[in-house]
Chains A and B, each alone.
Chain A
Amino acid sequence: MNTSDSEEEFYNERTALVTTDSPTMATYTQDSELPGPVVTENKTGASARLARGAREGESAADSEDEELTLKYGAKHVIMLFVPVTLCMVVVVATIKSVSFYTEKNGQQLIYTPFTEDTPSVGQRLLNSVLNTIIMISVIVVMTIFLVVLYKYRCYKFIHGWLILSSLMLLFWFSFMYLGEVFKTYNVAMDYPTLVMIIWNFGAVGMICIHWKGPLQLQQAYLIVISALMALVFIKYLPEWSAWVILGAISIYDLIAVLSPKGPLRMLVETAQERNEPIFPALIYSSAMIWMVGMARPSSEQRDQDTDEEAHQNNAESLERSQEEPEDQAFVGRSRAYSAEEEQEEERGVKLGLGDFIFYSVLVGKAAATGGDWNTTLACFVAILIGLCLTLLLLAIFKKALPALPISITFGLVFYFSTDNLVRPFMDSLAAHQFYI
C-alpha cells in the first residue's frame, strides 16, 4: 500500500516541541524586539496586557513569573508523559497482539524503494542508507513546501491538505486497524455496524481536530491518529531503514528547528508574528485550565477593566476576566503580576504530533523485533527521560525546541545496548534465579 503525499506531510511538520499558540508573547526579558522565539507559556489573551504591565513592573513580574514557570514545570512534564505513554502503550499492545503489523510481505512505501532482501550485509546497509536519504529528502521538500504555502498565506490549500490527510487517517487507517483487530480475535462483524462505527469515529474526530471539541476528546483523537501513523510506519518501513531513518530524522529535527533558516523555525516564527496558532491538526496541546481563586477588591477590578478595554483583546478573555472571581489582592503586588495571575487560565506546553509518532515507532520496533520485554521497557524509560530533559531545556531557554534528538538518541542507545548486552545477562540471571 502506498501512502499518499499528504501522509508524509502530515507527520513531518509535527516534530517540534512548541510552546505557544497564543498571540505574540513579548516576554518580560525582551523589551522592544519583536517576539521572535517561541516562549514557554501559553496564556490566552494575556500577552498584550502582560507586555504592557511588564514594562511597568518589570523586575517584579520577571522573578515571579520565573518562579511560576519552574513551579509548574513538573506539571507540564507529567502532562506530556501521560499522552506519550498512552500512545506508546497503544502501539506496543497492538504490535504484540495483532500480527498484521509485524508481518512483512514485501510491500514497501514508495519512499523507501530499495529492498533490504539482499545477500550481503554491505548491500543491505547501503540500501537502507539510500532509503533514508530518499525519505529525508521527501520530508525536507514537503516541509519547505508547507512553509512556503504558509508564508504566502495559501491557507485554503493547507487546510485542504490537512483535512485530506486526517480524513485518510481517521477513516481509512482506522478501518484497516479495526479489520485486523477483528481478524486477530475472530470477531464476527457485519458491514452496517462497521460503517456506523467508522463513520461516527471519523466524523467526531474531524470535528474535534479541525474545529472545536472538548479538550480531552481532541487529545484522545490526536493520540489515536499518532498511534495509527506509527503502526503504518512500523509495518511498511524495512528493518534497518527504520533505525537509520529514526537517527536521521532526529538530526533533521535538530537542524530544522534550531538553525535560523530552518523550515520549522520559520514556520513557528511566522505563526508568532501573525499572532496565529499553528494548525491544530499538527500539534498536541496539553493546556490545562484552572479557575482563579478568591474575590478581589473592586477598585482593582475597575483598574483591570479599563486596562482590558484599552487593549484589543479577544472577547473571550475579556468575558472570562470579568466573570470570574478574581484572585485575592496581595498587598504591594504589582499590577502586572495581578493581571497575569488573573488571566492565568490556560497554561500548557505543546508537542508536535511527529514526535509522538517517532517515539512510538521506536518503542514499537523494539517490541516487534524479538520477544524481549526488557528492551521495550528500557526504550520507554529512555524516551521519557529524554522528554524530561528536553522540557527542562525548554524551561531554561524558553523557545521552540526539537523534541526528537535527545529522546531518540537515548532510545536508540538503549535499544541496541539492551538488546545485545543486557538481554543475555538478564537471561543468564533468570536461568539461575539471581536477583540484582
Chain B
Amino acid sequence: MTVAVFFGCAFIAFGPALALFIFTIARDPLRVIILIAGAFFWLLSLLLSSLVWFIAVKASRQEEATAQKGLLIFGVMFSVVLQEVFRFAYYRLLRKANEGLAAISEENLSPISIRQMAYVAGLGFGIMSGAFSMINILSDSLGPGTVGIFGDSQYYFITSAFMTLAMTLLHTFWGVVFFDSCERNRWWAVAVVLSLHLLVSGLVSPSPSHRSRAVRTHNTCADKRP
C-alpha cells in the first residue's frame, strides 16, 4: 500500500472534520475545550461499552463464531445506546456550564450559545469516533501488504475512509438535532436520533458488499437537516 493511499484515505476520512475545526473552532478557546471534552465523553462511553462487551465475551462460550458475532452485534447496539446516554449527559453538563458562563459575564450573556455548543459537541463525538475507527487502518496502510489478498474486498481502505467520513458528519448532525430537541423537550426527535444511530451502526449484510453499505449510510447522511 502506498503513501498515496494513506493520504487519500486520511483526507477522505478527516478532511471535512479538519476543515470544520480550522475554520470554525480553532480560533475560539472555549470551543476547543468543548470539543475535547466531547471527545472525552465519547471515549468514556466507549470504555464502558467495551467493558460490558468484554465481560459478555469472557462469560460466553468462545468457540462458536456465530455466538461471537451475535455478541458483537449486541456490543454495537449497547455502545450506541450508551453513546446517546453520554450525549445527553454532556448536554446537561453544557447547559449548566452555559448558565455559569452567563452569570459571570458582563452583560449576563453567555459567550457561546447552546446551538454552537451542540455543533461543537457533535463534532467532538464525531472526530473521536472517526479517529478510533480509522487511525489503525491508516497506520496499516503505510506498511507493506496487499489488500484483500485472501479474497476479501480490495476496497477495504477506501470504504472505511468513506464510512468514517459519514460517521463523523452524522455525529455532528445528531449532536445538533439532539441538543435542539432536548432544549424544546421534543423527545420523539431524540428517539429518532437514537434509532437512526442504531440503524446506521447496524447496517451489516451477511456477504458484506461494502459499496452498497457505504451508499446506504451516505443516504442517511444526506437526509439529515442540521
Are the CB atoms of B30 and A74 closer together than 8 Å?
A: yes
Are the CB atoms of A414 and B36 closer together than 8 Å?
A: no
How far in angstroms is the closest Cβ of chain A from B35?
10
Q: Which residues in window 191-239 of A have CB below 8 A to B?
A: none
Q: Which residues in window 395-436 of A have CB below 8 A to B?
A: 414, 417-418, 420-422, 424-430, 432-436
Bound-state Cα–Cα, A430 to B68, Å: 14
Q: Which residues in window 152-172 of B have CB below 8 A to A?
A: 156, 159-160, 163-164, 166-167
How far in angstroms is the closest Cβ of chain B from A424?
7
Residues in chain B near residue A432, CB distance under 8 A = 69, 72, 204, 208
Residues in chain A near residue B204, CB distance under 8 A = 432-434
Kindly specify which of A36-44, A272-280, A368-376 makes contact with the partner chain: A368-376
Residues in chain B near residue A81, CB distance under 8 A = 32, 36
Whether B135 sits at the interface, judged by CB under 8 Å, is: yes
Residue of A417, A428, A433 touching B160 (CB-CB under 8 A): A433
Closest to A425 in B: B50
Among A371, A372, A417, A420, the one with the most B-chain Cβ atoms within 10 Å of its Cβ is A417
Are the CB atoms of A78 and B33 closer together than 8 Å?
A: yes
Count of B interface residues, CB-CB < 8 Å:
51
A-B pairs under 8 A by CB, number: 116
Q: Which residues in window 163-178 of A have CB below 8 A to B?
A: none
Are the CB atoms of B46 and A422 closer together than 8 Å?
A: yes
Kindly specify which of A48-56, A120-128, A242-250, A382-390 makes contact with the partner chain: A382-390
Residues in chain A near residue B139, CB distance under 8 A = 371, 373
Residues in chain A near residue B51, CB distance under 8 A = 417, 421
Whether A70 sits at the interface, judged by CB under 8 Å, is: yes
How far in angstroms is the closest Cβ of chain B from A67?
6
Instruction: Give 19 new A-B contacts, CB below 8 A, not counting A74-B30, A422-B132.
Output: A66-B104, A70-B104, A77-B29, A81-B32, A371-B139, A374-B135, A374-B136, A377-B135, A385-B36, A420-B54, A421-B50, A421-B51, A424-B57, A429-B72, A429-B76, A430-B160, A435-B129, A435-B166, A436-B80
Supply 25 A–B pairs (Cβ within 8 Å), ascending by A: A67-B104, A77-B33, A78-B32, A78-B33, A81-B36, A373-B139, A374-B135, A377-B135, A382-B43, A417-B47, A418-B47, A421-B50, A422-B47, A424-B57, A426-B136, A428-B72, A428-B75, A430-B160, A432-B69, A433-B159, A433-B160, A433-B204, A433-B208, A435-B129, A435-B217
